[in-house]
């Protein structure tokens, strides 16, 4: 092996997925790369060029622009480019140019395809698609890390048993990890305090080191749920410390196992349907974060997770409608409660406010409208109590503007379409995501068909909706590939909602409008748009894959926050991601930016 190949191999050892290859295979691959030097400003390839292979930056930088000349990415050493063209028909789908004197390594096309076919890790890295099929989160096959319910509660060996009992009482736990300098030394449980202190008549001042179970059996976070079950049954224990090295990272108890098996969307919906009060329902919805953790831990696709979580919100809403009617009496006229926003699209995550409205039969009298005002307040207040907080923009049925007869709603939509000012664009965007939840669905069915037909024929309205869809952009920056928040609580984070999911949601809404597609769910809209020819099959495929990755990483981050004892939110720190994850997330944002550029330049003729 000559020095040049040896240098390339050393470089590849720090680049994923090459670092996953066997050593002899890595040496072979290193010898396949072609090394070239490019002065600053050199055109590497243009849109439509036949690609000779996959490009990897060893030194320098490269800018990638789309077919419209819009910058989609600025790449640095260890970044790869050109793979999208190679995985299609071998033709470049972007244009790449060096931004400084650079050294690029080129992996020949045939060698790239061989690696994809022979090495699963390599194929997974470059295949961004996520399967829509999930699997049930079976307790026995889940990793232990998915079962840890909270941060471990600990005390020191010298802590008195009286103080230990107070800690357990105040933190509502049944065991403490006994640690010294961060290392696990033992475990003390409520049962130990009963059997080894009270039953023996020992003083409450006795240190826990004298009554604890020293050097307890433990597991690591990457063990399986079956390991917990086997150990608990074999040893007759109810508490199992989880350690990394000697450091205690969690405690799994029999209660945790029971809670895990009791939490499923079906169980939560059953409990909601049988709840007799708002307080009972709030106790049910408080279990949603744990459901999120389990669904993510069970490798469910993001659209399955959000659908199951939204189903619970739907069930809560319908139960509240029934409770309101029980309190106020039967509705004096047919009505329909509709959800918009993420609930309307069936895309709720661990963070959701309420967005809703009400359509009422035209035969309702003014006196009848007073009834519906009271009903809306009961339902909205109940949703707020259950964690679906009031909409900051007052997009709720409690606002008289959004609690109207069908004829008024028809007039709303007609005016928004005829005069698409900024407010009309915003309101139309929200209302195009409407989905009936409870009541007379017929009140909306005809209105939806009429609105889609009228809106799609109005080219000015469509153009305004396109412009509105471009207000949220992916966080692609010139430094390390991401533009993060610059100040405040979420400094150096990406907003995975407004700059991640929302740009795709907005595109999906525009495609649905142009194709008169009745689907409200974003993923369903994208797939239907591809089938209807509103966008190309390849464009639809790329955008679906990008959306799958962005939405999945958003949910995974929320599940991570829940596991650490924090409330889920939409802010992700790129620094928390591996090179592998950052690379794919950047690629997904590039796809979204490219599709936005296409819709912005083509308006009425999307490609």
- Indicate which CATH number applies to the domain containing 392: 3.30.460.10
Can you give the CATH number for the domain in which 122 is found? 2.60.120.10
Radius of gyration in angstroms for the set of CA atoms belonging to the chain, rounded to a whole number:
28
Regarding whether 269 and 248 lie in a shared domain, the answer is no
Distance in angstroms (rounded) separating the CA atoms of residues 168 and 191: 12
3-class DSSP state for residue 217?
Answer: coil
Q: Classify strands 494-495 and 356-360 as parallel, antiparallel or unpaired.
A: unpaired
Select, from the ranges 202-211, 349-358, 442-451, the one with the highest average predicted confidence (pLDDT): 202-211
pLDDT tens-digit map of 30-50: 999 999 999 999 999 999 899
pLDDT over 90 (residue 225): no
Q: Please indicate, yes or no, if residue 583 is contained in any of the structural domains.
A: yes
DSSP string, 47-69: TTPBP-EEEEEEES-EEEE-TTS
Same domain, 276 and 248: no
CB-based contact 12:54 (threshold 8 Å): no
483 and 402, same structural domain?
Answer: no
What is the overall mean pLDDT for the chain? 88
pLDDT at site 20: 74
Helices (H), 286-301: 288-297
Q: For residue 138, what pLDDT is reported?
A: 59
Q: How far apart are CA 350 and CA 217, in angstroms?
A: 34
Mean pLDDT lowest among 4-18, 189-203, 257-271: 257-271
User: Mean pLDDT throughout 92-108?
Assistant: 92
Q: Is the pLDDT of residue 327 over 70?
A: yes
Classify residue 259: in a domain, yes or no.
no
Q: Quick one: pLDDT at residue 605?
A: 46
Question: Is there a single domain that holds both residue 441 and residue 473?
Answer: no
How many angstroms separate the Cα of 233 from the Cα of each of 175, 226, 236, 239? 18, 11, 5, 11
Helix (H) or strand (E) holding 45: strand 43-45
Q: Is residue 134 a part of any domain in this protein?
A: no
Does 309 share its domain with 394? Answer: yes
Domain shared by 514 and 561, yes or no: yes
List Cβ neighbours of 354 (8 Å cut-off, separation of 6 or more). Answer: 343, 380, 383, 384, 388, 389, 390, 391, 396
pLDDT digits (tens, 9 = 90+) for 348-397: 998 888 999 999 999 999 999 999 999 999 999 999 999 999 999 899 99
**Across 143-152, 287-296, 433-442, least confident range:** 143-152
Residue 151 and residue 110 share a domain:
no
For residues 437 and 475, membership in a common domain is answered with: no
Identify whether 231 is part of a domain: yes
For range 512-532, the mean pLDDT: 91
Q: Tell which of 253, 285, 309 closes a domain.
A: 253
Question: d(Cα 508, Cα 522) in Å, to the nearest integer?
Answer: 6
For residues 79 and 121, which has the higher predicted lDDT (pLDDT)? Answer: 79
Characterize the bridge pairing of strands 175-180 and 154-155.
Answer: parallel
Give tens-digit pLDDT for 525-575: 999 999 999 999 889 999 999 999 999 999 999 999 988 888 899 999 998
Pairing, β 247-253 against β 239-244: antiparallel
Adjacent-strand bridge partners of 106: 34, 55
C-alpha 382/C-alpha 317 separation (Å) is: 8
Residue reference for tokens 């039969």 = 361
Per-residue pLDDT band for 221 (boundaries 50, 70, 90) equals confident
Rounded Cα distance between 381 and 387, Å, is 10
Q: Quick check: is 39 in a domain?
A: yes
**Same-domain status, 108 and 166:** no
- 161 and 99 in a common domain: no
Q: What angle, rounded to 10 degrees, do the helices at 265-273 and 302-328 form?
A: 0
Instruction: Domain of residue 582: give its range.
Output: 468-602
pLDDT exceeding 90 applies to what percent of the chain?
53
Q: What is the pLDDT of residue 38?
A: 95
For residues 299 and 303, what is the distance between their CA atoms, to the nearest angstrom? 11
Cα angle 440, 443, 444 (rounded to 5 degrees) comes to 115
What is the rounded (10 degree) CA torsion for 52, 57, 62, 67? 40
Which residue has 């959701």 as its token pair? 352
What is the reported pLDDT for 139? Answer: 66
> Quick check: is 456 in a domain?
no
Looking at residue 136, its pLDDT comes to 40
What's the number of domains the chain is made of?
A: 4
For residues 384 and 376, the answer to whether their CB atoms sit within 8 Å is: no
Q: Which of 191, 221, 253 is the last residue of a domain?
A: 253
CATH number at residue 220: 3.10.580.10
The verdict on 239 and 275 lying in the same domain is no
pLDDT higher than 90, residue 158: yes
Lowest mean pLDDT among 8-17, 323-332, 587-596: 8-17
Sheet-wide strand order for 71-75: 43-45, 95-98, 62-65, 71-75
Give the rounded distance of the alpha carbon of 322 from its chain centre. Answer: 32
Give dist(CA 180, CA 88) in Å, integer: 57
Average pLDDT estimate for 260-268: 70
Q: Give the DSSP letter string of 405-439.
A: EHHHHHHHHHHHHHS--HHHHHHHHHHTT-EEEEE
Q: Which string of DSSP letters, residue by residue, matches 127-176? A: -----S------GGGSBGGGT--SPPPEE-TTSBHHHHHHHHHHHT-SEE
Residue 63 β-bridge partners: 74, 97
> How far apart (Å, rounded) are the C-alpha atoms in residues 456 and 200?
81
In a domain, 575, yes or no: yes
How crowded is residue 6: how many other Cβ atoms within 10 Å of its Cβ?
13
Residue 230 has pLDDT above 80, yes or no: no
Task: Pick the last residue of a domain from 253, 279, 314.
Answer: 253
Q: Which residues pair with 353 in a beta bridge?
A: 389
Q: What pTM was computed for the model?
A: 0.65
Residues 51-61 have a mean pLDDT of 92
As given in the structure block, the two tokens for residue 64 are 């990638």
Structure tokens at 161: 């048993």
Query: Which tokens sit at 296?
Result: 């993510």
| Closest among 147, 292, 137, 149 to 221, alpha carbons compared | 147
Tell me if 607 is assigned to some domain. no
Q: Which of 286, 309, 406 lies closest to 357 in space, CA to CA?
A: 406
- The answer to whether the CB of 560 falls within 8 A of the CB of 298 is no
Please name every residue paired with 38 in a beta bridge, in sequence order, or none if there are none.
102
Whether 129 shows a pLDDT value over 60: the answer reads no
Q: What share of the chain is helix, strand, coil (3-state, %, to 5)?
A: 50, 15, 35
Residues 156 and 63 in one domain: no
Non-local (6+) Cβ contacts of 423 within 8 A are none
Q: What tokens appear for 273 in the block? A: 């349907």
Total count of residues recorded for the chain: 607
Per-residue model confidence (pLDDT) at position 478: 65
**171-185, 192-206, 247-261 — which is least confidently predicted?**
247-261
Beta-bridge partner residues of 96: 45, 64
Do residues 417 and 455 touch, judged by C-beta distance below 8 A?
yes
Which residue, among 309, 276, 317, has the nearest Cα to 292 in the 3D structure? 309
Residue 606 has pLDDT above 80, yes or no: no
């Amino acid at each position: 092996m000559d020095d040049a190949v040896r240098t390339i191999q050393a470089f590849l050892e720090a680049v994923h997925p090459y670092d996953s290859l066997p050593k002899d295979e890595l040496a072979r691959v290193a010898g396949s790369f072609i090394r070239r030097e490019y002065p600053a400003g050199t055109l590497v390839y243009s849109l439509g060029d036949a690609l000779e292979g996959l490009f990897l930056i060893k030194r320098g930088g490269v800018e990638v622009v789309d077919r419209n000349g819009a910058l989609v990415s600025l790449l640095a050493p260890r970044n790869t480019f050109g793979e999208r063209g190679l995985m299609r028909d071998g033709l470049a789908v972007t244009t790449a140019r060096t931004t400084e004197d650079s050294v690029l390594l080129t992996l020949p096309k045939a060698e790239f395809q061989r690696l994809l076919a022979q090495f699963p890790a390599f194929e997974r890295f470059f295949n961004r698609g996520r399967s829509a099929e999930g699997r049930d989160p079976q307790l026995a096959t889940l990793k232990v890390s998915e079962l840890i319910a909270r941060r471990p509660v600990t005390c020191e060996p010298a802590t008195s048993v009286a103080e230990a009992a107070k800690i357990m009482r105040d933190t509502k736990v049944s065991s403490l990890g006994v640690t010294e300098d961060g290392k696990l030394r033992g475990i003390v449980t409520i049962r130990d305090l009963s059997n080894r202190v009270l039953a023996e008549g020992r003083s409450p001042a006795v240190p826990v080191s004298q009554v604890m179970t020293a050097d307890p059996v433990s597991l690591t976070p990457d063990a399986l749920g079956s390991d917990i079950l086997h150990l608990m049954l074999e040893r007759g224990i109810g508490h199992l410390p989880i350690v990394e090295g000697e450091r205690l990272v969690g405690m799994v108890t029999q209660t945790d196992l029971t809670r895990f098996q009791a939490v499923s969307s079906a169980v939560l919906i059953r409990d909601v349907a049988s709840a007799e009060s708002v307080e009972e329902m709030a106790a049910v919805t408080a279990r949603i974060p744990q459901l999120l953790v389990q669904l993510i831990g069970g490798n469910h696709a993001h659209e399955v997770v959000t659908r199951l979580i939204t189903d619970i919100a739907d069930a809560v809403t319908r139960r509240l409608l029934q409770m309101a009617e029980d309190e106020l009496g039967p509705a004096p006229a047919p009505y329909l409660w509709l959800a918009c926003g993420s609930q309307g699209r069936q895309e709720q995550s661990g963070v959701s406010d309420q967005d809703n409205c009400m359509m009422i039969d035209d035969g309702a009298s003014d006196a009848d409208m007073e009834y519906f005002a009271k009903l809306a307040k009961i339902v909205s207040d109940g949703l707020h109590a259950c964690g679906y907080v009031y909409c900051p923009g007052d997009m709720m049925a409690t606002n008289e503007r959004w609690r109207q007869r069908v004829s008024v709603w028809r007039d709303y939509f007609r005016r928004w379409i005829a005069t698409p000012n900024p407010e009309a664009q915003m309101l139309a965007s929200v209302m195009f995501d409407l989905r009936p939840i409870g009541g007379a669905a017929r009140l909306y069915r005809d209105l939806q068909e009429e609105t889609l037909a009228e809106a799609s024929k109005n080219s000015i309205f469509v153009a305004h909706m396109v412009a509105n869809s471009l207000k949220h952009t992916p966080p692609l920056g010139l430094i390390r590939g991401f533009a993060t928040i610059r100040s405040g609580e979420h400094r150096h984070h990406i907003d995975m909602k407004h700059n991640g999911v929302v740009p795709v949601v907005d595109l999906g809404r525009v495609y649905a409008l142009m194709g008169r597609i009745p689907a409200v769910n974003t993923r369903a809209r994208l797939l239907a748009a591809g089938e209807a020819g509103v966008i190309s099959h390849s464009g639809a495929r790329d955008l679906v894959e990008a959306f799958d990755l962005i939405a999945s990483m958003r949910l995974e981050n929320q599940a991570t926050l829940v596991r650490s004892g924090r409330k889920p939110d939409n802010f992700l720190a790129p620094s928390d991601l591996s090179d592998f994850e950052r690379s794919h997330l950047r690629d997904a944002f590039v796809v979204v930016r490219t599709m936005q550029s296409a819709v912005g330049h083509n308006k009425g003729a999307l490609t």
